Amino acid sequence: MTKIQMTTPLVEMDGDEMTRILWKMIKDELLIPFIDLKTEYYDLGLEHRNETDDQVTVDSANATLKYGVAVKCATITPNAARMTEYNLKEMWKSPNGTIRAILDGTVFRAPILVKGIVPYVSNWKKPITIARHAYGDVYKNVEIKVPGAGKAELVFTAEDGTEIREVIHNFTGSGIIQGIHNTDKSISSFARACFGYAIDTKQDLWFATKDTISKKYDHNFKDIFQEIYENEYKAKFEELGIEYFYTLIDDAVARVIRSEGGFIWACKNYDGDVMSDMVATAYGDLSMMTSVLVSPNGAYEYEAAHGTVQRHYYKYLKGEETSTNSIATIFAWTGALRKRGELDKIPELVSFAEKLEQACIKTVEDGKMTKSLSLISTCENPMILNSLDFIKAIRETLEGLL
């Protein structure tokens, strides 16, 4: 069999712990036998981030801007325990945060649906993709615990010294205040990433805020989305027969539950934080969630939504058997390969990515799965496989499809 040729390399960001073990298995079993895999390799494993003073993370993000498509393995975000475990020079920042800041991107998360793993919401038939604005609001707040009676004011001082002043509250006793902000630039990037991704995936886009209550703050989000839609995307949406739909956040929540799925739900930062966990759980399992970071200038970074599955890794190190689900990491690869194939006009690569996704789904639907999936599957007698055997089972299904 001749291998599928690639023209432009993928930016490959290797990672940590159990997902790093899966990463190599996936490449060896599911990719290299079929594709003349071209990648520009960046080792984002914590040891190498520490050796390079985290420069490797910055370099990998810049390479993503250069080539346009990256695939990332889960990585450790260091905390105090990791400082000692890895003897770190510094508590390096979250790689995802660093990459997101450089790509100025929005994260889209979508569940992978398989028969036998039934969403808790029985009418959800298609995936709901959550797009979370990843800048500002309560995540960049300033707070004061008010000790007692007094006046709280909101003051903006322009560069020329002129002031805008509003009374927040005249306190008669103790209380709390909070200042939050966002920028038109960040909201515009978020809007463009959402409209672009809706066009890319040919799905409707929903957006919701609480603009009836937050008449300036949330209303500004609504206005920016509407203006960008009218001026830049409306014609394309109409051509594709997809819809942009704005409503209030409480109405959106009710409609989402009643829906069949199959759309993108754009959320402000806090709403996205809360709703993405609700949607992920309602679809079944975090290990079946994909994630893609889309930058407003058209760069894509694909990854699994879960972490490095630390507990399984420690078992693996002790030589014990693990049954870790590799599907979301495989889908990160197929997402990246499909996008590369589309950009470089290599239909065989696009078709391979689709077949590999079908192979993952079919393998589970045929009753072969990892332990965590067997716990939530309605399949009667599932065959529970270890990490490598599950990947080998997917390979066997894939070979049947090719």
Is residue 29 a contact partner of residue 391, using CB atoms and an 8 Å limit? yes
Closest residue by beta carbon to ligand NAP: 307
Compute the distance between CA of residue 146 and CA of residue 285 in angstroms, rounded to an integer.
42
Helices 387-401 and 17-26 cross at an angle (nearest 10°) of 30
Residue 322, phi then psi, degrees to nearest 5 = -120, 155
307 binding partner (options ligand NAP, Mg ion, none; Cβ < 5 to 8 Å by kind): ligand NAP
Instruction: Give the torsion sign (CA, 239, 240, 242, 246).
Output: negative
Considering the complex, what minimum distance in angstroms separates the CB of residue 290 from ligand NAP? 11
Q: Counting contacts by CB under 5 A, is residue 307 touching Mg ion?
A: no
Q: Which is nearer to ligand NAP, 111 or 341 (CB)?
A: 111
Which among ligand NAP, Mg ion, none contacts residue 310 (Cβ within 5 to 8 A by kind)? ligand NAP
* 32 contact partners, CB below 8 Å, separation of at least 6: none
Q: Quick check: 366 binds Mg ion (CB under 5 A)?
A: no
| Residue 372: closest CA among 326, 322, 324, 327 | 324
Which CB, 42 or 225, lies closer to ligand NAP? 42
d(CA 20, CA 317): 13
How many beta carbons lie within 10 A of that of residue 37, not counting itself? 17
* Interacting residue with ligand NAP among 8, 62, 77, 351 (CB under 6 A): 77
Please choose, out of 55-63, 103-111, 192-200, 300-308, the segment that lies near ligand NAP by the rule CB under 6 A.
300-308
315 binds ligand NAP (CB under 6 A): no
CA dist., res. 289 & res. 129, Å (int): 10
Give 273 or 344: the residue with its C-beta nearer to Mg ion.
273
Residues 153-192 that bind ligand NAP (CB under 6 A): none
In this complex, which beta carbon is closest to Mg ion, that of residue 59 or of residue 273? Answer: 273
Quickly count: other Cβ atoms within 10 Å of residue 166's Cβ. Answer: 9
Residues 90-129 that bind ligand NAP (CB under 6 A): 96
Token pair recorded at residue 233: 């995307």
Select the binding partner of residue 286 from ligand NAP, Mg ion, none (C-beta < 5 to 8 A, by kind): ligand NAP
Residue 39 binding ligand NAP, by CB under 6 A: no
User: What are the tokens at 394?
Assistant: 């997917």
| Contact footprint for Mg ion (CB under 5 A) | 273
| Contact footprint for ligand NAP (CB under 6 A) | 74-77, 96, 286-287, 303, 306-311, 324-325, 372
